[in-house]
Chains A and B, each alone.
Chain A
Amino acid sequence: MAEQPTDLETRVGPKIEFRGDPFASRLSSFPWWFLGLILIAVWAVFIITTQESYREAFDFIKQGIPVTIYITLISFTLASVIGLMAGLARISRSVVLRNIGTFYIEVIRGIPMLVLIFYLALVAVPSVVDGMNAFGEWLDGNGLGFLGGIFLAIENKNVPLEARAVIALAVTYGAFMAEVFRAGIQSIGRGQMEAARSLGMSYAQSMRYVILPQAVRNILPALGNDFVAMVKDSSLVSVLAVRDITQVARLYAGRSFRFAEAYTIIAVMYLTMVVLLSLLVQLIERRLRANE
């Protein structure tokens, strides 16, 4: 009669034997995926240095790198501010603010990012500027020319596409980051706000000095991930003819018909930036955890 398997064995399946071989276990835990990424980088450097067509493509496309970086940095900074305000609005005691915050987030989440970029840059921004101009003229007509001047200073034809792209990215990402901020603030126990308020601090002071420092610390990894995602999504601004690496690569490919060269190079560029930034985010996360 066969022995009945013990309860433990039936639940966890057959026992895995390592036979005390540290080499085998080290092989199985080695980050092969990372080696793969490094191989891609080495291969990219190799073809750029050895093949004329790739080197030309690289030299042309690299002029888009600063644009990609500054569009991402400015948009992310703006998006953080919008996200913080919208997140605070979402948990506000004011019915009006709460609804405005939720409305904004739901609208943005319900529209594809590409469509939003077109809409914000080509419809929303011009409408707002038109509105400001009209208000300025109305002020002018009513003898308030000194005030009207402020609203007439910006004209649609003077709003560069880069600025529209930044506004579009920031407004879009602000909605996602609002939810991150809201969750971060709500992760702080009620007692913290009560303790701060019981000392006579106002709601704003309690947020500023007690809740937000703790909340931001908690959500730093999530914010880092949003930043990495924004590096990638900044490629969408190429549809506005902003000369980021995606747009420059499209121009190069269209002109030279070297599609493989152009798109391989931007793919590797994005991959490199994203992997490096992800490693940085992990490092920061580990630092924070060590400090706790």
Chain B
Amino acid sequence: MSDPKNMIIEAVDIYKYFGDVQALNGVSLTVEAGKVIVVVGPSGSGKSTLLRCINYLETPTSGEIYIDGQLMTNDQRILNETRAEIGMVFQLFNLFPHLTAQENVTLAQNVVRGRSKEEAQEIAMQQLERVGIPEKADVKPAQLSGGQQQRVAIARALAMNPKIMLFDEPTSALDPEMIKEVLDVMLDLAQEGMTMVCVSHEMGFARAAADEVIFMDNGLIVEHTTPDGLFNNPQEERTKLFLSQILQH
């Protein structure tokens, strides 16, 4: 933390309990602007909870989150303003099914950013082109494949011009042949310098795009290192065990 201004996400000693279940057991994490962080770990290790605590979709039981220096609280005005700067992509896409692809991308621009209809539509088309499906602008989500839906969801988040993008297992619900189209978009985004925190099991993506890789287990960060360090030189037994299980095939 030599230059704290550059730390766009700071999570300090985050604990999160769901009833008696401890999802996070004191996690601290700082993310430098422009870096791509991939979070891996077995299911139930708290990776998604950590991600959801960053934009306060889950309120931490204790601990502090700073986004670009702003302390997150349950103050709704601060929450809404800060969340507008943090795009989030969900495992199950969560597109708005009653709206077309383009309307999905314009809604929050209009309501939150206060952009005019024309401006929002223009930006929506740019973003849909960026994710490679401008021709689906007038189609409802139900008529799109999983990969297309996820790309619309990414466009929806990008249209807000976020400083940070959070990805919560964005390819886990996709058929294998659609994973690549989503990862390609994410890879482009990483190369453009977007700050990204991705919970993902796509090791190929982690190797290609990640600046740092975090291995979590039992609500704790077990290892925080480079992709090379994690895959070729894991320090902890738990990390080695996990990697041997997922890299076997």
Contact = CB atoms under 8 A, between A and B. Distances in A.
Interface residues of A, number: 20
A192 B157 CA distance: 14
B57 A201 contact: no
Interface in A188-225: 189, 191-192, 194-203, 205, 209-210, 213-214, 217
Given A213-B98, A217-B98, A199 B108 contact: yes
Contacts of B88: 195, 198
B90 A191 contact: yes
B96 A198 contact: no
A59 interface: no
Interface residues of B, number: 28
Interface string A103-118: 0000000000000000
Interface in A160-201: 189, 191-192, 194-201
A292 interface: yes
A198 B95 CA distance: 12
Contacts of A198: 55, 57, 83, 86-88, 157
Nearest to A216: B98
A209 B107 CA distance: 8
A187 to B, nearest CB: 13
Contacts, number: 64
Interface in A41-98: none
B211 to A, nearest CB: 24
B92 interface: yes
B156 interface: yes
Interface of A is mostly: helix
B111 interface: yes
Contact of A199 (B84, B97, B142): B84
B6 interface: no
Contact of A205 (B55, B85, B111): B111
Interface string A215-257: 0010000000000000000000000000000000000000000
Contacts of A197: 57, 83
A258 to B, nearest CB: 53
A47 to B, nearest CB: 49
Given A199-B160, A200-B112, A200-B160, A191 B94 contact: yes
B123 to A, nearest CB: 14
A192 B99 CA distance: 12
A191 B92 contact: yes
Contacts of A199: 83-84, 87, 107-108, 112, 156-157, 160
B94 A194 contact: yes
B90 A195 contact: yes
A4 B83 CA distance: 70
Contacts of A192: 94, 96
A217 B95 CA distance: 17
A124 B133 CA distance: 59
B90 A201 contact: no
A201 B86 contact: no
A217 B85 CA distance: 31
B57 A194 contact: yes
Given A197-B57, A201-B80, A214 B97 contact: yes
Which of B55, B87, B90, B96 counts the most A-chain CB atoms under 10 A from its CB? B96
B111 A203 contact: no
A210 B142 contact: no
A52 B24 CA distance: 84
A92 to B, nearest CB: 14
A178 B156 CA distance: 33
B223 to A, nearest CB: 28
A205 B80 CA distance: 11
A192 B57 CA distance: 12
Contacts of A292: 142
A213 B96 CA distance: 10
B98 A201 contact: no
A209 B111 contact: yes
Which of A198, A202, A203, A214 counts the most B-chain CB atoms under 10 A from its CB? A198
Contacts of B95: 195
Contacts of B82: 200
B16 to A, nearest CB: 16
A211 to B, nearest CB: 10
A91 to B, nearest CB: 17
Nearest to A203: B76
11 contacts: A191-B90, A194-B90, A195-B88, A196-B108, A199-B108, A199-B160, A200-B80, A200-B112, A201-B107, A202-B80, A214-B96
Identify the 4 closest CB pairs spanning chains A and B, nearest first.
Answer: A200-B84, A195-B94, A199-B108, A198-B88
Given A195-B95, A197-B83, 13 more contacts: A194-B90, A195-B94, A195-B96, A197-B57, A199-B107, A199-B108, A200-B84, A200-B112, A201-B80, A205-B112, A213-B98, A214-B98, A292-B142
Interface of B: 55, 57, 76, 80-88, 90, 92, 94-98, 107-108, 111-112, 142, 153, 156-157, 160
